[in-house]
Structure 1
Amino acid sequence: MGLWLVIDLEATTEEGGWPVEEMEVIEIGASLVDATGREVDHFQRFVRPLRRPCLTAFCRELTHISQASVDSAAAFPAVWPQFERWIGTHRDRLLGWVSWGDYDRRQLELEWRQHGLESLLGQVPHLNLKQRFAKERQLPRPVGLHTALQLAGFAFQGQQHRALEDARNTARLLPLVIP
């Protein structure tokens, strides 16, 4: 049976947001699920930002990620190979990877380019579940993850804006749009 990789990232930001080019990943969360949305494995790591190592108060409040958590973490060029080793053990069953919206894909592609990294994810299809969910539900426009869960009759589980919890909640919506 094939597996889907659901990824969520948390990144440096400030109130009002920063352009993607100025953001840096501070947490990677990934849930590997079957077509029913059942998790078979997961990955979670904090990442130390290099350009702006001090998290803004807004970022700390939004993500509930402490400065100490990122200070003690490795930088993206060291963390990503750990992720690649982890997902590589599942590559034969990987159907594709999923994120809620396009931000996570764009941020990863930017980080890969900036750090000269290759990824298995570049070889498998990406699914923007936010767009797919809106199309499936015939919504006038895409909605946030929390709203989508409510529309599907689910309550958000865990802490919002934490990478692994967001990935797991996104995975719960996957069976509703993937036949």
Structure 2
Amino acid sequence: MRFIVYDIEATCWEGRPPGMVQETIEIGAYEVTAYGEVGSAFSRLIQPILHPQLSYFCRRLTRIEQADIDRARDFSRVIEAFREWVAPDTEPYVLAAWGDFDQRQLLQDCWLHHADDEWLLPHINLKAQYRELRGLPKKRGLASAVRHEGFEWTGEQHRALDDAENTVKVFRKLLDMWRY
């Protein structure tokens, strides 16, 4: 069994104006074995098609530059590369993300781009399970969970690969407790 601990960043606007559809602009992921060994990483930027110009709010939040997005590949190419990285053979895998936003966003983007999405279904919502495992009254954000589990945050928040790396810390600590 392989786990793919991942995070995405998406287009965003301050206050979320009506009619603005979010699109994935970055995917970051790490492979983790059933024994907790961290394997290879995947990291790509994606050029959005509905709103190709990132808002000032989004650029400030993610620190992703417009020039980098302009050079990025489209969703169809990146998601195919990600799918091939996730499942290069028949070994079983489960995707894991902090919350349900990442999976919902990828499913929405697959629909938008007419891409296969069945491979996204074996999935763990780590945020919801973490709440249950720790008996918390409400869900805890990733940075808070990292801190409460005794780790230091590494990298920048709201960058997909850095967020995935920090998620891996919590994931590995509770490796035998996740339900999938």
TM score, norm. by length of structure 2: 0.90
Task: Verify: 1:82 aligned to 2:81, yes or no.
Answer: yes
Residue 14 (structure 1) aligns with: 13
**Distance between the aligned counterparts of 2:150 and 2:96, measured in 1?**
21
The share of aligned pairs that are identical, in percent, is 38
Residue 115 (structure 2) aligns with: 117
Query: Which ranges of structure 1 fall in alignment gaps of 5 or more residues?
Result: none
Residue 168 (structure 1) aligns with: 165
Residue 62 (structure 1) aligns with: 61
Superposition pairs for residues 25-174 of structure 1, below 5 Å? 25-89=24-88, 91-94=90-93, 96-119=94-117, 121-122=119-120, 125-174=122-171
Deviation at 1:16, TM superposition (A): 2.5
Deviation at 1:133, TM superposition (A): 0.8
- The aligned amino acid for 1:108 is L
Deviation at 1:18, TM superposition (A): 5.7
What is the aligned residue count? 176
Q: Secondary structure at the match of 1:47?
A: strand
Q: Say what the alpha-carbon RMSD is for the aligned residues.
A: 1.9
**Distance between the aligned counterparts of 1:20 and 1:127, measured in 2?**
29
**Distance between the aligned counterparts of 1:120 and 1:70, measured in 2?**
27
- The aligned amino acid for 2:15 is G
Q: Secondary structure at the match of 1:135?
A: helix
The question of whether the paired residues in 1 share the 8 Å contact of 2:8 and 2:25 is answered with: yes
**Distance between the aligned counterparts of 2:67 and 2:135, measured in 1?**
43
Q: Secondary structure at the match of 1:175?
A: helix
Cα distance change on mapping 1:19 and 1:102 into 2, 3 Å: farther
Deviation at 1:17, TM superposition (A): 3.5
The question of whether the paired residues in 1 share the 8 Å contact of 2:131 and 2:137 is answered with: yes
Cα distance change on mapping 1:159 and 1:90 into 2, 3 Å: farther
